[in-house]
């Protein structure tokens, strides 16, 4: 135990983390309430490096929002539109294919696809675009749909959720996205997303996907009207499901963006809050391998700091992000692979290009830019720009 932790009020928790003991909800709340950010960060960094070493990952991906028309009117959402709105949009299958083809030429390995709950598109449309996108390159991983979208698609298909998921998977779906978790506590969920699926429904969609052998990420939208206890309750439910299924690949805390919506939050999450949330997630979610500092919501400089506060991933190149930017985010809409590698190196970490499932595709040596140290991961070394993977989707 280092000097800062030995003299911190958190030293008893530090001893338990070092011993590999599981933290309780009360412990997590105590960590959230601590003002000793340095000690919290050092403890989270210890836990992260024990699991992941000094590696920090990114993915070469593209966001693709097929439509922002939505039958819901969540109070926090600045993305959704009604058919009467002038700035609503809907991409055809051919437009989606063209955007994907352009992105594949840039070397992407993943398309991240979400949209609103469209009022009129049939279930067959979703199967059609999955098949068309997968046909471009069978190695392309399609990370698509939030839990509420899956429930909507099951309703359209007039099938059970497992039947719907199985049909989507057969059409090309590789992974579910983690969006839409917001905060699980019912009172908070009602205040920010009335009419959306319940926490139990969100968790059950992911459970059923995991039971089919699928993997997914999960999220938490923080920094609005929730309490610290609400955050702990949210993390507990994610940890419980991960104990049950082991189907989550990573956790992505999403800082609330305060503009252009109906929730009156005058002070968005501070830098202190961003870092402590990453740190508590790393320490409490002891059954999650990966924690992402989402650069779109954090900003790149705070995301770099996050790599010393428990995070081991910066997310991806993204190319075209709408949801956070329509809510007021002022970060860029893309990062190049070169930018992400540089950011990770500047934070003192070893950059790793990963796939959708956090499997390494390329490891960048510190000593020589562009070199691959795949032997660290048991793979064959390659000096090419991208190592291809034949891992089966899902």
Instruction: Judge whether 102 lies within some domain.
Output: yes
Cβ atoms of residues 372 and 383 within 8 Å: yes
The answer to whether residues 42 and 143 belong to one domain is no
- pLDDT tens track of the chain, all 394 residues? 676 788 889 999 999 999 999 999 999 999 999 999 999 999 999 999 999 999 999 999 999 988 777 755 555 555 555 666 666 768 899 999 999 999 999 899 999 999 877 677 899 999 999 999 999 999 999 999 999 999 999 999 999 999 999 999 999 999 999 999 999 999 999 888 877 889 999 999 999 999 999 999 999 999 999 999 999 999 999 999 999 999 999 999 999 987 656 677 777 899 999 999 999 999 999 999 999 999 999 999 999 999 999 999 999 998 754 444 344 445 455 789 999 999 999 999 999 999 999 999 999 975 444 433 333 333 333 333 333 333 332 3
- Separation in Å, CA 376 to CA 13, 51, 53: 31, 14, 11
**Intra-chain end-to-end CA distance of the chain, in Å:** 40
Q: Do residues 20 and 74 both lie within one domain?
A: no
How distant, in Å, are the alpha carbons of 113, 123, 215, 230 from that of 207? 20, 22, 10, 22
pLDDT at 383: 30
Q: How many residues comprise the chain?
A: 394
Same domain, 31 and 59: no
Closest CA to 212 of 243, 242, 180, 170: 170
Report yes or no on 35 lying in a domain: yes
Residue 300, CA distances (Å) to 56, 103, 229, 257, 293 in order: 14, 22, 28, 16, 9
**Residue range of the domain that includes 44:** 3-49
Q: Which CATH number is 138's domain given?
A: 3.20.20.70
| Number of separate domains in the chain | 2
Is the domain of 151 the same as that of 175?
Answer: yes
Q: Indicate if 183 and 307 belong to the same structural domain.
A: yes
Kindly state whether residue 216 falls inside one of the protein's structural domains: yes
Same-domain status, 10 and 101: no
**Does residue 230 sit in the same domain as residue 141?**
yes
Count of CA atoms in the C-beta half-sphere (13 A) of 92: 3
- Judge if 67 and 175 occupy the same domain: yes
Residues 227 and 338 reside in one and the same domain: yes
Per-residue pLDDT reduced to its tens digit, 38-51: 999 999 999 999 99
**Ordered DSSP codes for 180-231:** T----SHHHHHHHHTTSPPHHHHHHHHHHHHHTT-EEEEEEEESSS--HHHH
Does some domain include residue 385? no
Query: Are residues 257 and 323 both part of a single domain?
Result: yes
* Inside any domain, residue 391: no
32 and 73 in a common domain: no
Mean pLDDT over all residues of the chain?
Answer: 86
> Considering the entire predicted model, what is its pTM?
0.87
Are 238 and 272 part of one and the same domain?
yes
Residue 366 placed within a domain: no
Residue 369 inside a domain? The answer is no
pLDDT tens digit string along 229-253?
999 999 999 999 999 999 999 999 9
Q: Return the axis-axis angle of helices 37-52 and 271-284, rounded to nearest 10°.
A: 40
Q: How far is CA 32 from the centre of its chain?
A: 21
Both tokens of 384, joined, read 């090419």
Domain assignment of residue 136, yes or no: yes
């Amino acid at each position: 135990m280092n000097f800062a932790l030995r003299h911190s009020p958190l030293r008893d928790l530090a001893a338990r983390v070092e011993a590999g003991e599981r933290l309780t909800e009360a412990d997590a709340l105590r960590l959230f309430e601590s003002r000793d950010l340095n000690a919290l960060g050092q403890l989270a960094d210890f836990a992260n490096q024990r699991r992941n070493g000094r590696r920090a990952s990114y993915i070469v991906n593209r966001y693709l929002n097929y439509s922002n028309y939505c039958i819901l009117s969540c109070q926090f959402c600045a993305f959704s539109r009604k058919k009467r709105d002038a700035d609503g949009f809907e991409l055809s299958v051919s437009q989606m294919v063209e955007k994907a083809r352009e992105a594949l030429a840039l070397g992407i390995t993943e398309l991240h696809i979400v949209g609103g709950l469209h009022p009129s598109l049939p279930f067959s449309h979703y199967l059609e675009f999955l098949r068309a996108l997968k046909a471009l390159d069978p190695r392309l991983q399609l990370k698509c749909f939030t839990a509420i979208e899956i429930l909507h698609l099951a309703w359209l298909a007039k099938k059970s959720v497992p039947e719907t998921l199985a049909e989507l998977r057969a059409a090309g779906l590789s992974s579910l996205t983690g969006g839409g978790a917001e905060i699980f506590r019912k009172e908070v969920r009602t205040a920010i997303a009335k009419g959306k699926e319940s926490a139990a429904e969100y968790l059950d969609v992911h459970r059923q996907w995991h039971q089919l052998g699928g993997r997914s990420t999960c999220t938490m939208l923080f920094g609005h009207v929730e309490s610290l206890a609400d955050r702990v309750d949210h993390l507990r439910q994610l940890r419980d499901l991960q104990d049950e299924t082991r189907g989550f690949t990573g956790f992505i805390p999403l800082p609330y963006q305060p503009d252009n919506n109906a929730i009156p939050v005058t002070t968005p999450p501070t830098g202190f809050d961003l870092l402590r949330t990453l740190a508590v997630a790393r320490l409490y979610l002891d059954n999650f391998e990966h924690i992402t500092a989402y650069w779109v919501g954090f900003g790149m400089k705070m995301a770099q700091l996050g790599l010393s506060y428990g995070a081991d991933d910066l997310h991806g190149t993204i190319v075209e992000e709408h949801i956070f930017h329509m809510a007021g985010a002022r970060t860029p809409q893309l990062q190049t692979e070169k930018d992400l590698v540089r950011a990770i190196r500047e934070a003192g970490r070893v950059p790793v290009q990963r796939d959708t499932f956090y499997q390494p595709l390329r490891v960048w040596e510190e000593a020589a830019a562009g070199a691959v140290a795949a032997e660290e991961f048991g793979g064959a070394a390659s000096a090419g720009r991208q190592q291809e993977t034949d891992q089966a989707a899902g």
